[in-house]
Amino acid sequence: MSGFKSAANIPELRRRVLFTLIMLAVYRMGVQIPTPGINGEALSAFFDQNAGTLFGMFNMFSGGALANFSIFALGIMPYISASIIIQLMTVVIPQLEALKKEGEAGNRKITQYTRYGTVLLSVIQGTFIATGLEGMTGPGGAAIVLDPGIQFKLMTMLTLTSGTAFIMWLGEQMTERGIGNGISLIIFAGIVARGQAAIVNSIQLIQAGEIALFFVPFLVLFMFFIVAVIVFFETAQRRIPIQYAKRVVGRKVYGGQSSHLPLKINISGVIPPIFASSIMMFPATIGSFIQIDWVQRISAAMSPGTFYYYVCYIAMIVFFCFFYTAVQFKPDDVAENLKKNGGFIPGIRPGKKTADFLDKILTRLTVVGAIYLSVVCVLPTLLISQFNIPFFFGGTALLIVVGVGIDTISQIESHLHMRNYEGFMKQGKIKGRR
C-alpha cells in the first residue's frame, strides 16, 4: 500500500492511473447501453439457461455485455482473434515476417493490419449473431428480436462493429496514455465486474444452508492458495547464463560481460486455456440448438464435469502450449542473434548446438507449464461440478485476472523506481526519508 501512496505523489503516474480508471469507467458504462430491437428479458433468460455453453464463456469475457446485448456485446474477442491470426500468419507469410523485423515502423504496419482484421471479424460475427437471434426464443417461447428483418441485421451489425472498434480504441489509448496493457485491462475489468454477483450468490447459498458456514474459511484459503500458485508460476523463470566475448576496437575493450537469458515457465500465457475452452464449449453449444438424439448424447458426454471432458480439455491445453510456444520463441533465431553479438552459453558451442540446447530446455519448461495450466484450469471446474463448491472465477478467468494484476503492478513499480521511490519493495529507504 505504501507503493500506491507514493504513486499519488508522482504527477505523471497519477495522471496515467486516473486516465486508465476513467477509460475503464467509460467501458463499463457502454456495457449497460442495450442494442435497439432486443427483448432484454427473453435474452437474459436464454443466457441463464445456456450458462455452460460457448455463450457463457463469451459473456464472461465481455463482462456481461453479451447477456445484456449491449453495444459492446462482441467485446474485445474479435481484436484478440485478429491479433492471434496475424501472429500466426507472420510465421507462414515472409512479407509479414519481414515487417516484424523492421522494428517500430513494421510493428505499426502490423497493428494497422490487426485493426482491419478486427473490423472484418466484427462485421462477420455481428451479421451471424443478428441472423441467429432472429430465430431464437427465450425459455418461455418469447421472441428475442422484436422486429426481425434486413433493417435489424444491418443496424445490429453496424452497432456491434462500432462498439468493438471503440473498445479497441479505448484499449490502445490506455496502453499509450495510461498504465498497463489496455486490452488486457478491459478483459480484466469485465471478469472482475462479475465477481460481485458471484459473491452475492455465495452468500445466498450460505443463508439457504446449501453451503456449511464452517466450510467458508477453507474455501477462502483455497482461493488464496490458487492465486499464490498462479503468481509463483507466472513469475518463475529459468535463467540461462550468457557470456560475451571480449572485443578490442581501437584502444577500447568491449564485451567480456556476463548476463542471462530468462525463459518463463509459461511462455504461452493464457492462450492455450482460451483456445481449449472455446473448442470444448462447442459440443454443448451445438447441443443446445440441434435436438437430435446422437448429438445430444455427444453433447452430454463432453459437458463440463464428465471424464471425457477433462481428458480432452487437458489434451487441448497441452497441444496449444507446445504450438503457441513454438510460434512465440524460436531457438534458431536466438542462437543466431547470440552468435552475431559475440555471446555464447558456457560449455555450449555457438550456432546449432546452442539452438538444440535452448530447444531442449524450452521443451522441458513447456511440459511443466502445460501441467501447471491443466491443474489450475481443471481443479476449479472439478470442485464446482463434483462438490458443488462456488468458485468465483474459472481457471482461465483467474489466470487472466492474476496475470494482468501482476503486469500492471510491475509497470507501476517501474515508474516508482525511475522516480527513486521505494515502490512495492519492503527494503530500502529514500535518503533523508524517515
| Residue 427 banded pLDDT, cuts 50, 70, 90 | very low
Whether 421 has a pLDDT exceeding 50, the answer reads no
Whether 134 has a pLDDT exceeding 80, the answer reads no
Q: What is the mean pLDDT of residues 184-208?
A: 77
User: Same CATH topology for 1-209 and 212-389?
Assistant: yes
Residue 368: the pLDDT is 92
Question: Which triple of cell numbers denotes residue 43?
Answer: 435474452
- Distance, CA of 300 to chain centre: 28
Domain ranges for the chain, please list them.
1-209, 212-389
Topology at the third CATH level for domain 1-209: Preprotein translocase SecY subunit (1.10.3370)
The model carries a pTM of 0.75
Given the candidates 3.40.220.10, 3.20.20.70, 1.10.3370.10, 3.40.50.1110, the CATH classification of the domain at 212-389 is: 1.10.3370.10
278-327 tens-digit pLDDT:
677 666 666 655 667 776 777 777 766 678 888 888 898 898 888 888 87
Residue 4: the pLDDT is 60
255-274 tens-digit pLDDT:
567 788 888 888 887 778 87
Q: What is the mean pLDDT of the chain?
A: 78
